[in-house]
Amino acid sequence: MSEGLSKILNIVLYALLGISALLGVLFYSGSIESDTIIYWCYALFALGAATAIIFPIITMVKNPKGAKSALIGVLALVVVFVVSYALAGDEMLDKYYDFISGPEASRRVGTGLIAFYILAIGAIIATVYSGISKLFK
């Protein structure tokens, strides 16, 4: 990152931090309502989301070879979720209707659980493999 961009980002960071601190003090002193804090949180969330989307795209355009590995990771996640969705069932017990609105919601919950299991098992395998491979080096 260039020196000029780094300085600008630091100024923006401290400005956002200062505004957040000021809003916090004003809120706890009773000068402003909670709606102002909520709108500020929405603005910070939107800024963070935009930053999380825009900067990786800029990086991929600047370094297409590095983008290849990132896209492989994203594709792997998509495959995990597609497989999870295919494995998830939409059947529901009668007592679950109090908590889940219908079969499609049940399928989404099942998709999330199965994806979590697959990713957790993958993380455990990667950790064990990393530890064992270091023993033999």
Task: Give the C-alpha separation, 24 to 39, whole Å.
Answer: 13
Say yes or no: 135 and 123 in one domain: yes
- Residue 60 confidence (pLDDT): 84
- Residue 94 confidence (pLDDT): 73
**CA-based nearest residue to 19, from 32, 8, 1, 7:** 32
Say yes or no: 9 and 35 in one domain: yes
User: Could you report how far apart the first and last alpha carbons of the chain are, in Å?
Assistant: 35
Summarised one tens digit per residue, pLDDT across range 67-111 is 888 888 889 999 999 999 999 988 777 776 777 777 788 889 899
Give the Å distances, CA to CA, from 121 to 11, 37, 131, 133: 42, 40, 15, 18
Say yes or no: 86 and 136 in one domain: yes
Please state, for a pLDDT cut of 90, what percent of the chain lies above it: 58
Task: Give the C-alpha separation, 110 to 92, whole Å.
Answer: 11
Domains in the chain, number: 2
**Domain hosting residue 57, numbered range:** 1-62
- Residue 58 confidence (pLDDT): 86
Of 62, 79, 114, the position where a domain reaches its end is 62
Q: Where does residue 106 rank: exposed (0-12), middle (13-18), buried (19+ CB within 10 A)?
A: buried
- Residue 1 confidence (pLDDT): 60
Task: Give the C-alpha separation, 80 to 57, whole Å.
Answer: 23
Say yes or no: 71 and 95 in one domain: yes
**CA-based nearest residue to 83, from 56, 129, 121, 53:** 121
pTM: 0.59
**CA-based nearest residue to 105, from 126, 122, 88:** 88
Say yes or no: 100 and 125 in one domain: yes
